[in-house]
Structures are given as C-alpha cells and as structure tokens.
Amino acid sequence: MGAMAARVEMADVSWTALGVAVGRAAEDARPDPLFHDPLAAAFVAAGEAHAPFPSGAAADSPDIWQQMQVLMGEYVSVRTKFFDDYLLAATAAGCRQVVLVAAGLDARAYRLDFPAGVRVFELDMPPVLRFKQQVIDEVGAQPRGERIVVATDLREDWPTALQAAGLDPAVPTAWLAEGLIPYLSPADNDRLISGITGLSAPGSHLSVEYIDADFAKVPDLMRDVDPEMTNWFADLWKGGVGNDPVSWLADHEWLARTADPAELSRRHHRDLAPLFAGTAGFTPPQFITAQR
C-alpha cells in the first residue's frame, strides 16, 4: 500500500465500516473462506496507517483491530455470506438494480458475479466514500459491472440524490441495509424505509440486518474489552426501529421473514461471539429478507 496523503477524517459512525472490514479481511485470510474480499485487507491497512481510530476514543490503542475482532468474532463472516447469497438470489430473480444502503467499505461491486446489466448503487456519507475510493484507486481494483456512488446522508433527502444518480423506480431493485439500523433513530428508520418503499417497483427485494433497542445494552457488555470503545459505541446507538422487524416491514408494505445468525453459523462452522449468539443477555441480531 503506497502512502496516502492525509489523515483519514470520517464521522465516528463511519469508522464502524472499518470494523466490518476487519472481519471480512480475517475471513478472506482463512484457508476455507466463505467468501473472498481482498479489498478488505487494503481498507484495514489504510485505516490503520492513517487514522486515530476512532476520533477521540481509543486513539492510541495499538491493538484496536484485535479488539474489534474479539468483539465481532466470526459474526461478520456469517452476516456477509448471508447477504451475498441474498443479493445473488435477488438479482438472479430479476432485480437489475442493487442499492447498498450505507455501503461503507462493502466491496460487493468488486467481488460478486451479478448477472450482466446489474447496476450497483452505493449510498453513504461523503468522507467514508472518499476514503474507500482512495484505497480502491491505489489498489487499482475494477468493479465487475456498473458501480454508481451516491454520497448522501440517509437522514436527508437521499431518494432525490439516488434518482438523480440514475436509479429507475420502475425497475425492480434489490436493497440491502447491513449494519445500519441501530445508528438511526426510529423516526429516521421510518423515513428510510418509506423512501425505499417509494422507489421499489413490484418484484423488488429488501434485506436488513435487524438490531434493535435491546442491543443498546451491548456497550455495557463491552466494558471488559475496552472502556473507551464502550463509551464510543454507546454514543453511536440511536434507537433502531422500536418494533419487531416483520411488523415494521409489514407496516411499510413488505412481506418479510427472518433468519437466525446462530443457525447460519452452525451451518457454516463459524463461531459467534457471545454478543451475537444470544448468550449475553439480550436479543441477538436477525437477518431479514422481504419482497413486495
């Protein structure tokens, strides 16, 4: 990795995307990976070299990356595999647009073999998308199909920005919101799902990593790992959805079903950290898929 020009500046919430990349890089390095994501290691190397992580908290902790790995365990591997399979199935079923809502450092446009003609839109805040592009350009990676980056704030009028970037609401879309829900308030999540529904032609698919208010207890459980990280995470939780996911999506015209990460981890021979296994005293995340 060559030298990057400057210190990386991102919103605190965007650093969580680098935490996900840590998990994906670890999976990619295994002899029996569930998926390949070579860009993940490049993102981690660039973030490690150029950042205090995150701003303020734990900035000087040299083993912050290992701590992230302890927290996440192999959850990211199972989660990534589930949503990879979802997107491949939704595009095989006819969706010709993929929208990665809060794409972060998701490299699916570079690593998944979507059917010909599928356009991948990536929505996230401008600084994380700039960081991502810098690393991609340094590595010289090329997307497998058309990739369209939309720098926007999901609490604002992102539907207008997405349509201006070329999303056609008359064409079925496969949406993915992975690792986003708890960082938005219930009102912002409602606006987000309304925006998604408003742009979704019949035949569209939606998948969401569902983590709700109960997870707000998680920062307390993290205190053993790193108190500064704990405080940092606590500030990021904004409340989630405040409803069970199937009802929430039904209210927004989606027929949803849930998948259990623990079941998937057994199937894939991966271990979930207690935080994600339902053994740490709170409701674990669920993976939701929905259609309309």
Ligand X SMILES: C[S@@+](CC[C@H](N)C(=O)[O-])C[C@H]1O[C@@H](n2cnc3c(N)ncnc32)[C@H](O)[C@@H]1O
Q: Which residues bind ligand X (CB under 6 A)?
A: 13-14, 16-17, 20, 102-106, 124-125, 128, 153-155, 178-180, 183
7 versus 202: smaller Cβ distance to ligand X: 7
How far is Cα 69 from Cα 73, in angstroms, rounded to an integer? 5
- Cα–Cα distances (Å) from 245 to 114, 186, 193, 211, 258, in that order, read 28, 12, 12, 9, 8
Q: Which residues of 57-78 are buried (b: 16+ CB within 10 A; e: fewer)?
A: bbeeeeebbebbbebbbbbbbb
Q: Which residue's C-beta sits nearest to ligand X?
A: 104
Least distance from ligand X to the Cβ atom of residue 206, Å? 14
Q: How far is the CB of 202 from ligand X (least distance, A)?
A: 26
CB 75 within 8 A of CB 143: no
Q: How far is the CB of 16 from ligand X (least distance, A)?
A: 4
Report in angstroms how near the CB of residue 105 gets to ligand X at its nearest. 6
Q: Residue 83 Cβ, how far from ligand X at the closest point, in Å?
A: 8
Q: Cα–Cα distance between 198 and 206 in angstroms, integer? A: 13
CB of 130 or CB of 155, closer to ligand X:
155
Residue 146: left (phi > 0), alpha (psi -120 to 50), or beta? beta
| Residue 151 β-bridge partners | 124
Nearest distance in Å: CB 170, ligand X? 25
Please, which residue, 190 or 203, has the CB nearer to ligand X? 190
If the CB atoms of residues 16 and 69 are measured against ligand X, the closer one turns out to be 16
Q: How far is the CB of 255 from ligand X (least distance, A)?
A: 23
**For ligand X, the closer CB: 201 or 237:** 237
CB 43 within 8 A of CB 105: yes
CA distance 276 to 150: 31
Min separation Cβ 253 and ligand X, Å: 23
> Which 3-state string (H, E, C) describes 147-197?
EEEEECCCCCCHHHHHHHCCCCCCCCEEEEECCCHHHCCHHHHHHHHHHHH
Nearer to ligand X, 157 or 263 (CB): 157
Instruction: Report the residue number, 119 or 238, with the smaller CB distance to ligand X.
Output: 238
Nearer residue to ligand X within complex by CB, 14 or 69: 14
Q: CA–CA separation, 284 vs 265, rounded Å?
A: 13
Looking at the DSSP assignment, which residues form a beta bridge with residue 119?
97, 146
Beta-carbon count within 10 A of 279 CB: 12
